[in-house]
Amino acid sequence: MKIIVAIKQVPERDAQVRIDAAGKWIEEAGLQWALNESDAYALEEALQLKEKHGGEVVVLSAGPERVGSTIREALAKGADRAIQIDCANLGNRDALSVAKLLAAAVKPENPDLVLTGLQSDDLGLGQTGVILAELLSLPHASLILHVEKTETGLTVKREWEEGWFQTVEMPTPAVLTIQSGGNKLRYATLMGIKRAKTKEVRQVTAAELAVDSAQAVVLERVALPTKQKSTQILPGTAKEAAAALVEKLKFEARVL
């Protein structure tokens, strides 16, 4: 089974982001970068499928030189080789132009399965994987927690809201966008990093892929969310306060 996992490098979770001078994107200098979380789960799913059924896992990532570190990390965790699409920052690119780049790189590989994260932690558009499927003319399913290979194709488990799941049978090749939390992630190992050194990372440029990556959408402005704190102190005895709290959790926060 040949699986391609499209991954994205995003600012580290702990990163203190600042808006750049133009107000169009974040200040990148001094930022630490990491693998997008749901992409990490997509990679994990791919590695587990490979461990069960054999085959090859190829990671694919678009971005500037810095994405190399994230690609190494994926190789260290067990991917067999990588393709890096050399292009400027993805931040202000729209999902369509990125998906076009990815599709052009995926096509000649003829994979059995393309996995990618549900959405990116930075832009959070959640469209790239779905558009990629469309461009490749492949069936797709989103919000996937678990993938099982069957005689004829795949059985996938989708996560719905409020604890509902849906099981779907589908043919291969296919594109799936993976939801975080379906598996337990593996940790990077020294052996993995050392082995990754010898693994192939193929660099391609947007020009070589011959893709018209004109943007359909242009990012106008980015801003930090305004801070608002609305702590409420519930008055009364513990009993009354508890009752009031339950009310609020039920009807205001709607978490119960």
C-alpha–C-alpha distance, residues 125 and 49, integer Å? 27
C-alpha–C-alpha distance, residues 206 and 216, integer Å? 17
Report, in Å, the least distance between residue 106 CB and another protein: 27
* 188: contact with another protein by CB under 8 A: yes
Report, in Å, the least distance between residue 159 CB and another protein: 21
Beta-carbon neighbour count of residue 92 at 10 Å? Answer: 16
- Applying CB under 8 A, which part among 10-18, 143-151, 212-220, 246-254 lies near another protein? 10-18
Quick one: 77 or 100, whose CB is closer to another protein? 77
Binding mask 143-162 for another protein (x = CB under 8 A): --------------------
C-alpha–C-alpha distance, residues 142 and 134, integer Å? 13
What residues have CB less than 8 Å from 95, skipping those under 6 apart?
125, 127, 128, 131, 217
Helix, strand, coil % (nearest 5) of the chain?
Answer: 30, 25, 45
The one-character DSSP state at 233 is P
Specify which residues 62 forms β-bridges with: 85
- Out of 21, 22, 29, 191, point to the residue binding another protein (CB under 8 A): 191
* 32: contact with another protein by CB under 8 A: yes
Beta-carbon neighbour count of residue 33 at 10 Å? Answer: 16
> Binders of another protein: how many residues, by CB under 8 A?
18
C-alpha–C-alpha distance, residues 95 and 133, integer Å? 12
Report, in Å, the least distance between residue 105 CB and another protein: 26
- Applying CB under 8 A, which part among 9-17, 50-58, 145-153, 167-175 lies near another protein? 9-17
Given a contact cutoff of 8 angstroms between Cβ atoms, the answer to whether 86 and 64 are in contact is yes
* 170: contact with another protein by CB under 8 A: no
- Out of 16, 89, 166, 205, point to the residue binding another protein (CB under 8 A): 16
- Applying CB under 8 A, which part among 1-9, 120-128, 145-153, 181-189 lies near another protein? 181-189
Report, in Å, the least distance between residue 255 CB and another protein: 15
- Out of 5, 192, 206, 209, point to the residue binding another protein (CB under 8 A): 192
Which token pair is 191? Answer: 């052996």
* 245: contact with another protein by CB under 8 A: no
* Contact residues for another protein, defined by CB under 8 A: 12-14, 16, 32, 34, 184-194, 197
